[in-house]
A and B are shown apart, each in its own frame.
Chain A
Amino acid sequence: MSEAKKFLYVNRRAPYGTIYALESLEVVLIGAAFDQDVSLAFIDDGVFQIAKGQDTKSLGVKNFSPTYRALGDYGVTKLYVEKESLAERGLTEDDLMPIIYEDENDNFAEKPSLIFVDRAEMAKMMSEQDIVLSF
């Protein structure tokens, strides 16, 4: 295998109503083992995937939101969140789970994985990818 490719996972759907958010996350976890340059984008209803306070006990389905917080352990540390998508839904950055990673190149300092960008910055980031996956 030559140079790492830039893989982007685009999340545009809310969790639980359909399986897409969960099965997208499963691909991210498996893909992390391939040493590619991985980013995630949360736009439109995708921002609901990382909302804090998710509690699925009464539904009888698995709460997979803690898995996003573990992504840093898999080397997945670039989670782009679109500011306009948050604002359109009445959300602020404080409504999201804190997601951090330990930077092994910086004495394992804790750093935020969530990168808040506006729509133009999101569009530019998308245009720099090799592979764009959506589910």
Chain B
Amino acid sequence: MPTLHMVNKSPFERNALQSCLAHALDGDGVLLFEDGVYGAIKGSSVSGDVEGKGGVKIYVLGADLGARGIESGRLIEGITVVDYPGFVDLVTSHDRSQSWL
């Protein structure tokens, strides 16, 4: 019964990503979008938390990366970039979505 967690806040401003990762279960997905995409950058003070969450698949919305000038080479290894149709697929392929507002 996997959950899609949606995080739209920068981890440097709020604890939404940290709290989400602390509650996500193995098999769940986490989508980073809007300012949440800053959590996908490698070599940051929070990237270890993201990398350490082995059983959870991390996705990031490409449109929000592009708007913020973040190239895919700067992303943490193993993160999958999706577009809006891919976002829709993530919602329909998980049993529920939970927004970390």
Seen from chain A, the residues whose Cβ lies within 8 Å of a Cβ on chain B are 10, 12-13, 20, 43-44, 119, 122-124, 126-132, 134-135
Contacts and interface: CB of A to CB of B under 8 A. Distances in A.
A132 B94 CA distance: 13
Interface residues of B, number: 16
Given A123-B24, A124-B25, A127-B3, A134 B19 contact: no
B interface secondary structure, majority? mixed
Contacts of B25: 123-124, 127
Interface of B: 1, 3, 15-16, 19, 22-25, 28, 96-101
A interface secondary structure, majority? mixed
A44 to B, nearest CB: 6
B24 A129 contact: no
Contact of B23 (A20, A119, A130, A134): A119
B15 to A, nearest CB: 7
B21 to A, nearest CB: 10
Contacts of B23: 43, 119, 122-123, 126
B23 to A, nearest CB: 4
